[in-house]
Copies of this chain bind each other. A is one copy, B any other.
Amino acid sequence: MARFIKKSSKTKGLPPGTLVHIGDKKTEKTEIKVIDYTSSNLKEFVCKKADECFTLKKKNSVSWINVDGVDDVELIGKIGENFGIHSLVLEDIVNTDQRPKIEDHEKYVFLVLKMLHYDEINHETKVEQVSFILTRSCVISFQEMKGDVFDAVRERIRSNKGRIRKMGADYLMYALIDAIVDNYFLILEKIGERIEDMEEILVDDPSPKTLQKIYNLKREMVFIRKSVWPLREVISGLVREESHLFRKTTNVFLRDVYDHTIQVIDTVETFRDMVSGMLDIYMSSVSNKMNEVMKVLTIFAAIFIPLTFIAGVYGMNFENMPELAWQWGYPMVWLIIIIVSISMLAYFRHKKWL
């Protein structure tokens, strides 16, 4: 089973704003990738050194600086310093145990979201923290590791599809949030399928393995919920607050993302309802099976125990047992045995146990 609890004890006792990475070391090397575009131009490159991207700050083009890996605290510190980001914000970026949240620091907006990955092999959902810094013309995204759900956004930028190249950094920000929320639907679809598969075996063929699976599902729902629930507040904050960094035209799109978020939360709650009902059904199912086993035992025991007694009686060695000498004694015993068996069976049928 995946371990969900992160070691946050490392920061204990350090002054606030000290950068200490919390979470599993997930990347080999931190990599900074930049996409810089206007409606007519597009530049895409990998920064070998952090300094290379600092010039983007002043350009009028829209820049998306994507940092894969947050365990190189020195690098994060340098970026933070250069873009004028508060040290407590940087601390939140490297501490990957944050709740989704939004903070408006006037000159920039800080956003923490959770990106979900579905591990097809172990049938498990994994959580990755993505932090965003939105300034007038830049979006800086910090991911725990390589691999994300933003490829479609990149493609749209490259191919100049849709309105993305014509809009500002706030629209890019929206597009990235939208990609994350859209991905939740995918994950929920996967979980929905598992739930429906489970439902079928639940009543027909419950096994201890099923119990384990239900527990895992329940556990996953707890963690997905933890990732998704605060999103509502975050995005509704974005919609209402009207930070000066978000243009009016972007607001209608944010409201669309908000609707999706509500839908995601709704589905999560529905799934939780379904999963939490499953355990009861499982127990009922198991109890039904046990009942059936008990019935068979009862019937066997109840039929043969008296018969064995009868046989035992005529196995006694008394000298004076007249039945033993009767000519029809033996057939008579068989007759008794048959009568007893049939009447027992009739009784059980009458009781509807058969």
* Interface residues, chain A, with chain B CB atoms under 8 Å away: 1, 3-5, 7-9, 11-18, 86, 88, 92, 97-99, 101, 151-153, 155-156, 161-164, 178-179, 182-183, 185-186, 188-189, 192-193, 195-196, 199-200, 202-203, 205, 208, 211-212, 215, 218-219, 222-223, 226, 252-253, 256, 259, 262-263, 266, 270, 273-274, 277, 279-291, 293-298, 300-302, 304-309, 311-321, 323-327, 329-330, 333, 352-353
Contacts and interface: CB of A to CB of B under 8 A. Distances in A.
Contact of A226 (B186, B270, B320): B270
B8 A185 contact: yes
Contacts of A88: 252-253, 256
B311 A302 contact: no
Secondary structure of the A contact surface, majority rule: helix
Contacts of A317: 314-317, 321, 324
Nearest to A5: B192
A4 B192 CA distance: 9
25 contacts: A1-B199, A5-B193, A5-B196, A8-B186, A8-B189, A9-B189, A12-B186, A15-B161, A16-B162, A16-B178, A92-B259, A97-B263, A203-B215, A208-B288, A211-B285, A283-B283, A286-B291, A289-B291, A297-B302, A300-B305, A301-B301, A308-B309, A311-B312, A315-B316, A319-B324
Contact of A318 (B279, B305, B333): B333
A354 B352 CA distance: 18
A191 to B, nearest CB: 9
A222 B318 contact: no
Contacts of A203: 208, 211-212, 215
Contact of A321 (B15, B163, B287, B330): B330
A98 B287 CA distance: 39
Given A17-B162, A317-B321, 17 more contacts: A5-B189, A5-B192, A12-B152, A12-B183, A12-B186, A15-B161, A15-B162, A16-B162, A16-B178, A92-B259, A226-B266, A226-B270, A279-B281, A283-B283, A290-B294, A294-B294, A297-B301
B164 A288 contact: no
Contacts of A281: 211, 215, 279
Nearest to A222: B273
